[in-house]
Amino acid sequence: MSSSEDRILIFDTTLRDGEQTPGVSLTPENKLQIARQLDRLGVDIIEAGFPITSKGEIESVKMIAKEGLSAEICSLARTSRKDIDAALDCGVDSIHTFIATSDLHLEHKLKITREQAVEKAVEAVEYCKSHGVIVEFSAEDATRSDLTYLKEVFKAVNNAGVDRIDIPDTVGVITPEKMFQLVSDIKTVVNVPISLHCHNDFGLAVANTLAGINAGAKTAHVAVNGLGERAGNASLEELVMSLYCLHQRKTNINTKLIYETSRLVSRITGIAMQPNKAIVGENAFGHESGIHTHGVLTVPLTYEPIAPELVGRRRWIQAGKHAGGHGISAQLKELGIDASRDQLKDIVEKVKELGDKGKRLSETDLSALARAVIGQTSPEEKVVDLQDFSVMTGVRMVPTASVRVLIDGKRYVASDTGVGPVDSAMKAIQTVTGGFGEITLKEYRLEAITGGSDALAEVRIKVEDEEGITASASAAGEDIVVVSVEAMLDGINKVLLKRRRLASAGTAVTAAQGT
Ligand code: KIV
Ligand code: ZN
C-alpha cells in the first residue's frame, strides 16, 4: 500500500522536549542509554538536547553524537549564533533552530517586530548551512501565527536553504481539520519536507499530527510515552501504531521494541504511565469481563484491535466479578492448576462473590482460592530456592546484601548494594537470578498490619520480565526485609514458571497478571 517514498520519518524529541516534562532531569549517562534504545527502535532523528542550557546538556549531546548511531543526531538552538555554535560544537548532524512567529510571542516575549524575526530566522539558517549541517526550522507558536506572515517566514527560510520546516502547535490548540488545512496552505509556499510538532493540551496531539500527515507532512515530532512540556508531545507509540494500523503508513520503527522502550524511558525519567494509556499502559491489553475474555481467547481480534505481540506485549486477564469460565481457566492453566469442570464452576462463583464485595483478586489470591477449592494446600513448585541471605546496614556504610540460592538445583551466590536494607536485598536477588531473565520490580507496597515496632508487615510486589510476563506476590511477617525477600522470590518463581509453561505450550497464550 505504501512505498518507501511514502514512509513517515520519526523525529524523536524524548531527550529534548521530553526532558522538559516537569520533574524530569536526566544525566548524560541516562540520555545516552535512552538514545541507544531509540536507535534500536528505529527512529530517524534523535533530538538529543538543547546544548546552550547547561554543561551537562553539552556533554550529553556530545556523547550521543559520538556514539555512531544510525539515526540523525539533532540539537535544538534558538536563532542566535551563541546557541548555534554550542550545538555545532557538539558535533551533531543537524540543527533544529526556532523562533516564535505569533504576534503574542513577538510582542510580549521576544519584543521584536515581524521583520526582525524573519531576518533572524534567515540568518540562522544561512549560518547553519555554512557549517555544512542539516537544518530544520521551526516557527514556534505557528498555529497561533498570522497565516500570511507565517507563509512569508517559511518562504524566506526555504529560499535561505533550509532542509526541513516544522509547524509547531506549541500550546496544543489546533484541531485536526485546521491542521489539515494549515499543512495544505504551507505546502503551497515551500518545496522542502514539512514536519509537525504537536502538543497535547487538549489530548489532540496524535490526531493533529495524523491530520497533518494526511495533508502531506513528512516528519512527525514525537516523544516516548507522550512526554514533553505540560501535557506533553504526540506520543511515539500512539502515532506509530495509528499510522501503521489505521492509515497503512510505514515508519522505520520496530514496533516489537515499543513496550521495552516505553518501560526504559518510564524507569529512567520516573514518569509512570497511567494504567489506561493506549499501547503502553498496564491495562492496554488486559481483559476482565467474561464476554471479552471469551472473545479474545477464541478470536483475539474480537476485542483486540492490535495484537499485543506487535508492540512487544502480552495479553492478560483479570479475575473479577465480570469473569467467566474461559478466562479463569486460562489463568489457572498458567498458574499450573488443573481444575475439573465442577471445580472451575465453583472457582468462578467464588471469584464473582469476592468481586461483588469489591475485592480485586490478585494472581496470588486466585491461586490460593483455586487451590482451596480443589483441595491442594501448597503449590511448592519453584525454580529458585532460597538457601540464605544476609544484609549489613548502618550509619556511614553502604547497605549491602548477599544471597545464596539454588536454581534448578545449582548453587548461585550474589551480593549487591542499595539505598537501604530492603533495596539492597531486592537488588541482590535480581542479580543472582539475572542469568535467567531480567526480572524487574514494578511495584512494591508495604503495609503495617498491626502497630508497634514489632508490627506485622505485609509486602505486596509485582515483577515483570523483559517479555512483559508479570506476576504479583505477597508475604507477611515481622521482619520487613525477610518478607520483602520472600515476596520477591515468590514473584520471580511465578514469572519463571509461567515462562516455562508458555514455552512448553509452544504458544504465546494469555499471560495472566496479578494486581
Ligand atoms: O513546542 C514548541 O514550539 C517547541 C519548539 C522548540 C519547536 O518545542
Ligand atoms: Zn514543544
Name the residue type at position 272: A
Q: Could you tell me if residue 274 is inside a domain?
A: no
Asked whether residue 343 falls in the same domain as residue 457, the answer is no
pLDDT-based confidence at residue 99 (cuts at 50, 70, 90): very high
Are residue 384 and residue 320 in the same domain, yes or no?
no
- Same domain? For 425 and 324 the reply is no
Q: Name the 3-class secondary structure at 200.
A: coil
Confidence (pLDDT) at 297: 86
Neighbours of 140 (CB within 10 A): 20
Q: Does 3 have pLDDT greater than 80?
A: no
To 10 degrees, the CA torsion angle through 231, 234, 238, 241? 180
Considering 375, 409, 436, which residue would you say is the last residue of a domain?
375
Q: Could you tell which of 19, 53, 78, 98 is best to mutate to test the pocket of ligand 1, judged by most ligand atoms within 8 Å of the CB?
A: 98
Residue 276 located in a structural domain: no
Band (pLDDT 50/70/90 cuts) for residue 451 is low
Q: Residue 2: is its pLDDT beyond 80?
A: no
Please identify, among 349, 375, 401, the residue that sits at the C-terminal boundary of a domain.
375
Q: What is the CATH number of the domain that holds 84?
A: 3.20.20.70
Average pLDDT over residues 178-183: 98
Last residue of a domain, one of 322, 356, 375: 375
Range of the domain at 107: 4-269
* Ligand 1, atom 1: closest residue by C-alpha: 170
Distance 306 CA to ligand 2 centre (A): 29
- Considering the domain boundaries, does residue 510 fall inside one? no
pLDDT reported for residue 38:
98
The answer to whether residues 477 and 483 touch, using CB atoms and an 8 Å cutoff, is yes
366 falls within a domain: yes
C-alpha 186/C-alpha 172 separation (Å) is: 18
Q: Provide the whole-model pTM.
A: 0.83
Model confidence at 50: pLDDT above 60? yes
Name which of 148-157, 486-495, 506-515 the model is least confident about: 506-515
Q: Edge-to-edge strand order for the sheet containing 470-477?
A: 440-448, 457-464, 470-477
Q: Tell me: pLDDT of 378 over 80.
A: no
* Statement: residue 263 has pLDDT above 90: yes
Q: Indicate whether 76 and 148 sit together in one domain.
A: yes
**CB-CB neighbours of 387 under 10 Å:** 11
Question: Going by CA atoms, what residue is nearest to atom 3 of ligand 1?
Answer: 170
Using the CB atoms, write b or e for 161-185: b if 16+ within 10 Å: ebbbbbbbbbbbebebeebbbbbee
Q: What is the dihedral of CA 482, 487, 491, 496, to 10 degrees?
A: 30
Do 236 and 340 fall within a single domain? no
Q: Whose CA is nearest to atom 5 of ligand 1?
A: 140
Mutate to test the pocket of ligand 1, among 47, 140, 196 (most ligand atoms within 8 A of CB): 140
215 and 136 part of one domain: yes
Q: Residue 78 Cα, ligand 1 centroid: separation in angstroms?
A: 10
Residues 371 and 383 reside in one and the same domain: no
Domain assignment present for residue 356? The answer is yes
The pLDDT > 90 percentage for the chain reads 70
**Ligand 1 binding site (Cβ under 6 Å of any ligand atom):** 17, 98, 138, 140, 168, 170, 197, 199
Residue 509 scores a pLDDT above 50: no
Query: Do 136 and 81 have their domain in common?
Result: yes
Do 417 and 365 sit in the same domain of this protein? no
Residue 91 and residue 74: Cα distance in Å, rounded?
A: 9
pLDDT score recorded for residue 400:
95
Nearest atom in ligand 1 to the alpha carbon of residue 199 is: 1
Confidence of residue 512 (pLDDT cuts 50, 70, 90): very low
Query: CATH number for the domain including 485?
Result: 3.30.160.270
Residue 281 lies in a domain: no
Query: Which 8-state DSSP code applies to residue 497?
Result: H
Residue of 11, 52, 138, 201 with the most ligand 1 atoms within 8 Å of its CB, for mutation: 138
- Residues 494-508: pLDDT tens digits? 888 888 877 776 643
In this structure, are 148 and 189 located in the same domain? yes
Q: Is the pLDDT of residue 510 over 50?
A: no
Per-residue pLDDT tens digits for 4-30: 568 999 999 999 999 999 999 999 999
**Residue 136, pLDDT above cutoff 70:** yes
Q: How many domains does the chain have?
A: 3
Examine residue 280 and state whether it is found in any structural domain, yes or no: no
Compute the distance from residue 144 Cα to the ligand 2 centre, in Å. 14
Site of grid cell 516564535: 100
Whether residue 90 is found in the same domain as residue 204: yes
pLDDT tens per residue, range 223-254: 999 999 999 999 999 999 999 999 999 999 99
Gap from CA of 250 to ligand 1 centroid (Å): 25
> What are 132's strand-pairing partners?
none
Q: Report if residue 211 sits inside a domain.
A: yes
* The three grid cell numbers given for residue 168, joined into one nine-digit string: 509547531
Atom from ligand 1 closest to the CA of residue 142: 3
Q: How confident is the model at residue 513 (pLDDT cuts 50, 70, 90)?
A: very low
Average pLDDT, the chain: 91
For residue 502, the surrounding DSSP H or E stretch is: helix 480-505
Residue 118 confidence (pLDDT) above 70: yes
Same structural domain, 230 and 349: no
Query: Would you state the pLDDT for residue 355?
Result: 87
Give the pLDDT of residue 319: 83
The pLDDT value recorded for residue 336 is: 84
C-alpha distance across the termini of the chain, in Å: 41
